[in-house]
Amino acid sequence: MDQPLPRDPIADAQRNWERRGWEAQAAPMAAVTAIMRTQQLLMLRIEGVLKPFALTFSRYELLTLLAFTRRGELPMSRASSLLQVHPTSVTNAVDRLQAAGLVDRTPHPVDRRTTLIRLTSDGRDLARRATEALNREVFTDTGFDTDDVDALIRILARFRQQAGDFAVD
Amino acid sequence: MDQPLPRDPIADAQRNWERRGWEAQAAPMAAVTAIMRTQQLLMLRIEGVLKPFALTFSRYELLTLLAFTRRGELPMSRASSLLQVHPTSVTNAVDRLQAAGLVDRTPHPVDRRTTLIRLTSDGRDLARRATEALNREVFTDTGFDTDDVDALIRILARFRQQAGDFAVD
DNA sequence: TCCACATGGTTGGATGTCCAAGTATAGTCC
DNA sequence: GGACTATACTTGGACATCCAACCATGTGGA
């Protein structure tokens, strides 16, 4: 699975699409497929760096989100909408982080429906160390040059906004 | 989970990164996070279109790969390397496609280790109809304009190649 | 005040992905 | 020819994601 192929399989697919008469859709299809594959490659790289910390990317994201809040706590529903994942994914992540002693569940002071996720000191410490590792081992050299990074941020922000991720900035 | 947020959470994260002293890593982090989120959005859109066909994207990819081969058949290992997924993922997909009558498993004529996946006529028909739906409902208007598509293809191809996905073209 | 509807979170189920390990078959080299 | 190594596929396990359904709590209007 990790031997390099002799040719770019996505470029091949694009040519196949064109040959079948989907000229107009071939390039968008290739771009979409490339995003899928790039995401997979980045995820593997990131999870490799996080493995020594016994964290997955989704748990890391939650931990870091908490670390960026003023009090180190957040309602589950708020975490769900900020991370843009299903509430059940948050439940799952919190279960595991809590088992590892990295977060607590606390009742909300006034709304009894709500559960607050609260960073423990171990959690805060691990978030800091994992972030240092990711910055050092992934984000310092992603493989995209400066212009690429700018282009990606711009293009993908517009796409996400148009897809309804967030309102006009 | 699907209400638009008032602001771009990735841009916020980028600002947080900068404020914590990771100026050089903030933009690459944002680009990587944006790729992750974009992949998720595209996947949801695609799976929505494939749902009426009782297909997932990974099964669709396998079906389409077979449809593009001369004889409509391929060793499992070859599918694994072309789709760039783990062999167990191919086993999983083939199990389900076979249960749905869309592919068969055939022994390889000379190498008895190898299993060939072979498209059935139902499988070929479904692949065609699913591709038409995706082209019509997703790839005709992805939300990326022509320049964006070109930029994505170029930037991501370079990244994938550098990551060892395929040899120099 | 009370009922209908909205919101917050969990449980159970289906899928996909990866890794580790195990079995079977091929190929290589002495 | 026989042992060693490589390749092909499967099984079992750990995770993450989504959806549907369910229970508890809040809110708002008649």
* Run of H or E including A115: strand A115-119
Three-state SS letters, A119-134: ECHHHHHHHHHHHHHH
A63–chain B nearest CA distance, Å = 13
- Tell me the pLDDT of chain B averaged across its residues: 94
Helices (H), chain A: 9-19, 23-50, 57-67, 76-83, 87-99, 121-134, 146-162
> Which spans in chain B are helix H?
9-19, 23-50, 57-67, 76-83, 87-99, 121-134, 146-162
Q: Which residues in chain A have their CB less than 8 angstroms from residue B161's CB?
A: 8
Confidence of residue B1 (pLDDT cuts 50, 70, 90): low
Print pLDDT tens along chain A (169 aa).
Answer: 567 788 899 999 999 999 999 999 999 999 999 999 999 999 999 999 999 999 999 999 999 999 999 999 999 999 999 999 999 999 999 999 999 999 999 999 999 999 999 999 999 999 999 999 999 999 999 999 999 999 999 999 999 999 988 887 5
Region B135-143 average pLDDT? 95
- The predicted structure's pLDDT at residue B36: 95
Helix (H/G/I), strand (E/B), else coil: A107: strand
Give CA–CA dist A61/B28, Å, rounded.
16
For B31-57, the pLDDT digits (tens) are 999 999 999 999 999 999 999 999 999
Which position has the token pair 């190898």?
Answer: B114
- CA B98 to C1' D3 (Å) is 39
Whether residue B107 is predicted with pLDDT greater than 90 in this model: the reply is yes
Q: Count of alpha carbons within 13 Å of B164, Cβ hemisphere only?
A: 8
A77 CA → D29 C1’, Å = 27
- Per DSSP, A102 falls in state S
Using a 7 Å cut-off to protein CB atoms, list the covered nucleotides of chain C.
Answer: 7-13, 15-20, 24-27
Q: Which residues pair with A116 in a beta bridge?
A: A75, A106
Tell which strand D nucleotides have any atom below 7 Å from a protein Cβ: 7-13, 15-20, 24-27
Q: Which fold has domain A54-140?
A: Arc Repressor Mutant, subunit A (1.10.10)
Q: What gap in Å lies between CA A125 and CA A55, rounded to an integer?
A: 13
